[in-house]
Amino acid sequence: MKKLIIALDLSDKKKIYKLVEKIGEKVDFYKIGIIPYLLFGNEIIKWLKKEKKKIFFDLKFFDIPNTVKNAVKIISEHEVDMFTVHLMAGEKTIKEIVEIKKELKSNIKIIGVTILTSLAEKDLKFLGINMEIKEIVKKLVRYAYEWGTDGVVCSGQELKDLRKAFKPPFLMIVPGVRMEKSKDDQKRIITPEQAIKDGADFIVVGRPIYESKNPIKVVEKILKEIKDER
């Protein structure tokens, strides 16, 4: 299984198509988030499917149970392979979409979002939360597992402990992956090599690839790192 998911957080459709075509068979999984979906809608999903790619649909659903349930019914018709829902949406929302998946006899993977990798403890102080992010994430992942999701998104900082507690086939998807220290908005980062070593099923990489002058070289470097760590 190829473990790299490339995030297509771009606002230029031609650049997206060119990047995917250039990378070719090296990568078969792509993340569609808010930006490309708002701009290009289902067109981008249909195009990726035509190119025989898998899709991680990352809109992080966070709403009342009925709304999220109906959203899942819709996206299940678009052949996406995984989608994200905020675990903070609560037990009822998560359990209802797990049930809908069963009713639809769908193979789509439900992936719970814990705490964004752009957040650190200081960013949660306004809520009066006196817990380390690791502890909050661990609690949310326990709920995700008990409620029946297929896996979670977590940062590399929590990954190792979570993998010990929650074994495959429960999926661990890790964003905030960087080849080296960066100056962008990601705070809880990890290298590709370390992520796979610590038990990630998939790593999600965006900017280090599509902002590079030579994205193929970056992709090949990542693939070599994670292959060597298998």
**Residues 83-128: pLDDT tens digits?**
999 999 999 999 999 999 999 999 999 999 998 878 888 888 887 8
Q: Which residue intervals of the chain are DSSP H helices?
A: 13-23, 34-40, 42-50, 65-75, 91-104, 133-147, 156-165, 192-197, 207-210, 215-228
Q: How far apart, in whole angstroms, are the C-alpha atoms of residue 65 and residue 129?
A: 25
DSSP assignment, residue 41?
A: T
According to the model, what pLDDT value does residue 1 have? 58
How many CB atoms within 10 Å of residue 28? 17
pLDDT digits over 192-218, tens only? 999 999 999 999 999 999 999 999 999
According to the model, what pLDDT value does residue 227 have? 86
According to the model, what pLDDT value does residue 185 have? 47
- Report the domain count for the chain: 1
> What is this structure's pTM?
0.93
According to the model, what pLDDT value does residue 59 have? 97
Q: How far apart, in whole angstroms, are the C-alpha atoms of residue 204 and residue 58?
A: 11
Closest CA to 137 of 121, 150, 122: 121
Active site residues: 60
> Exposure string (b/e) for 152-169, b if CB count within 10 Å is 16 or more?
bbbbbbbbbbbbeebeee
- CATH code of the domain in which 114 resides: 3.20.20.70
Domain that holds residue 40: 4-228
Local structure of 212: helix, strand or coil: coil
Q: Which residue in this structure is represented by tokens 């896996």?
A: 151
Spatial contact of 200 and 155, defined as CB atoms under 8 Å apart: no
